[in-house]
A and B are shown apart, each in its own frame.
Chain A
Amino acid sequence: SYNLTQPPSVSVSPGQTARITCSGDALPKQYVFWYQQKPGQAPFLVIYKDIKRPSGIPERFSGSTSGTTVTLTISGVQAEDEADYFCQSADSTGNFPYVFGTGTKVTVL
């Protein structure tokens, strides 16, 4: 199997910066996608191909990569950003496609 590891939780005050990491051995070779999921709702794509923002996603959401760790950064966090965030990627061989991370709960204090 292939695993993507995220911290269980991140807490941040309004207006501050939240950083959510996702670690996996194949991340230098595979794109990462990030999803936001609010309670009772389906996941929603916020970052694709490591750093790209879909149309309509606020600029405060950004992605970055560094070796086997990728980071979703939310700058100037707002109360509406409180949600679970999941990364998604694949192993280097393609034997384990569309693997989701363990998820990070972002709490806005």
Chain B
Amino acid sequence: EVQLVQSGAEVKKPGESLKISCKGSGYSFSNYWIAWVRQTPGKGLEYMGMIYPGDSDIRYRPSFQGQVTLSADRSINTAYMQWRSLGASDSGMYYCARIEGSVTFMGDAFDVWGQGTMVNVSS
């Protein structure tokens, strides 16, 4: 079974750092782009960026560039997203998703999703 399993919910204080993970199984992890998507009540679903585990090629949505860092360790089929200094506005549900097939960097299917990682940043 193809699946992505994400790390558990996090409660953090403003200014703290955080790294969440997304582990793939059931497919060749290195050969598919992994995207990260944030969901909040106010802004809905937002694409944040994507990484190709095979060579760690990374694309950020401009509004998230510098706010988060994407990485991957293909030896353990895991992608990561990290923050150096969290703010209250970083609270939300974060999903990783596999991008299906040949990527156009415009409109592509997110065909497998992780279960989500809830991040709550509060003082």
| A interface residue numbers (CB < 8 A to B) | 30-33, 35, 41-45, 48-49, 54, 86, 88-90, 94, 97-103
**What residues of A have a CB within 8 angstroms of the CB of B54 in the complex?**
none
Q: Does B27 contact A (CB under 8 A)?
A: no
Within 8 A of A (CB), among B53-81: 61
Q: Which of B105, B106, B107, B110 contacts A43 (CB 8 A)?
A: B110
Q: Does B29 contact A (CB under 8 A)?
A: no
Within 8 A of A (CB), among B21-57: 35, 37, 44-47
Q: Which of B46, B97, B100, B107 has the most CB of A within 10 A?
A: B107
**What residues of A have a CB within 8 angstroms of the CB of B106 in the complex?**
30, 90, 94, 97-98
CB<8 Å pairs between A and B, sample of 7:
A30-B106, A33-B109, A42-B95, A42-B113, A42-B114, A86-B45, A97-B47
Known: A42-B114, A98-B35. A103 touches B107 (CB 8 A): no
| Chain B interface residue bracket vs A | 20 to 34
**Closest Cβ neighbor of B63 among chain A residues:** A1
How far, in whole Å, are A89 and B45 apart by their CA atoms in the complex? 12
**Closest Cβ neighbor of A1 among chain B residues:** B63
Residue contact B47 to A48, C-beta cutoff 8 Å: no
Q: Per-residue CB proximity of B94-117 to A under 8 Å, as 1/0?
A: 010100100001111111011110
- 6 further A-B contacts with Cβ under 8 Å, apart from A42-B114, A97-B106, A100-B47, are A30-B107, A43-B95, A54-B109, A86-B45, A90-B107, A98-B47
**Closest Cβ neighbor of B99 among chain A residues:** A98
**Closest Cβ neighbor of A52 among chain B residues:** B109
Residue contact B47 to A42, C-beta cutoff 8 Å: no
Residue contact B107 to A88, C-beta cutoff 8 Å: yes
How far, in whole Å, are A103 and B108 apart by their CA atoms in the complex? 18
**What residues of B have a CB within 8 angstroms of the CB of A43 in the complex?**
45, 95, 97, 110, 113
Question: Closest 7 A-B residue pairs measured CB to CB?
Answer: A98-B47, A100-B45, A90-B106, A42-B113, A48-B109, A90-B107, A31-B107
